[in-house]
Amino acid sequence: YKSHTKSRTEKHASYPSRYFVPDDKIIWDIPFDAYQPTEFTAPVVLDRNTTWADPHDITALTRVFESFEGDVKFNAIGVPLNPIGRTGLKGRGVLGKWGANFAVDGIVTTLNPYSNLLEVLTITRCDTGETALPGGMVDAGETAMGTRNRELEEEVSVKSTDLANHLYEETLASGYVDDPRNTDNAWMETTVIHTHLAYENASEMQVCAGDDASDFKWLPITTESLSSFYANHGLSLLLAVKEMLQSKSSPIDKTITAE
Ligand code: RP5
Ligand code: MG
Ligand code: MG
């Protein structure tokens, strides 16, 4: 199944410890009688003035629960269940929405002619200090491209006009994110948009970190760098690069690959 490791083992700085979920006890259909996850929903999520959060009383919610992972399952009292399985924590943690919390991530790549390596524009996340793709939550009524453009502007000062002359652009299959903030009842799902630029355009862009990014970096894509990303962003990046290299409209000579 989908990568579901950080959702079970890592935790946000403010989270209590997760109840240990072994590999063979992830899926809900497998009985796990001893399972007693701690309930945790961050005070900011419970605050009535937090506009981006659902009411804590789930019966007061009228919206339909949507997910890229298919029909949402519910427990006996109508609380949505993580589509991949147990995380060792119930409640919403720091996530505002019950069920799926939708985000969009932007992959911006270029081929560095000096190193002959593909490079990706990454941020350092303020919350965990990890290298990540720039991205963020979808605002009400926003399209995926709208979120991508807004988040790139907020986090790395990249404007959609900087990307207009791309050599290649593709939206990847949307789905579950193995995010350390996930719980049994609230989880991240994302849509990834990949844009590949000519080196002359990428190197001329004025990049600057802001909002929930403390730094940025054009990172060479290597086996090592892919394994150090936040959540499953390294895996998303690998799939995006593969898709680009295999596509009919690939801007890159097939003999050149990421290391
Ligand atoms: C991840 O959290 C998504 O892939 C996206 O990168 C990010 C969105 O949350 P914030 O950056 O707004 O914290 O699951
Ligand atoms: Mg953001
Ligand atoms: Mg963000």
Q: Does residue 217 lie in a domain region?
A: yes
Task: Please state the atom number of ligand 1 nearest to the C-alpha of residue 190.
Answer: 4
ipTM of model: 0.97
Q: Does residue 141 lie in a domain region?
A: yes
Distance 137 CA to ligand 3 centre (A): 7
Q: How many domains does the chain have?
A: 1
Distance 77 CA to ligand 2 centre (A): 33
Q: Does residue 180 lie in a domain region?
A: yes
Q: Are strands 89-93 and 38-41 parallel, antiparallel or unpaired?
A: parallel
pTM: 0.94
Determine the structural domain holding residue 161 and report its residue range. Answer: 100-246
Distance 23 CA to ligand 1 centre (A): 25
- Alpha-carbon distance of 26 to 84, in angstroms, equals 7
Integer angstrom CA distances of residue 231 from 5, 36, 105, 197, 218: 9, 24, 12, 25, 19
The CATH number for 126's domain is 3.90.79.10
Q: Does residue 72 lie in a domain region?
A: no
Q: Does residue 130 lie in a domain region?
A: yes
Whether 143 contacts 195, CB under 8 Å:
no
pLDDT tens by residue, 116-168: 999 999 999 999 999 999 999 999 999 999 999 999 999 999 999 999 999 99
Q: Does residue 62 lie in a domain region?
A: no
Q: Does residue 122 lie in a domain region?
A: yes
- Alpha-carbon distance of 6 to 213, in angstroms, equals 20
Q: Does residue 198 lie in a domain region?
A: yes
Q: Please give the pLDDT value at position 251.
A: 87
Ligand 1 site, CB within 6 A: 103, 105, 132-133, 135-137, 177, 179, 188, 190, 212, 231
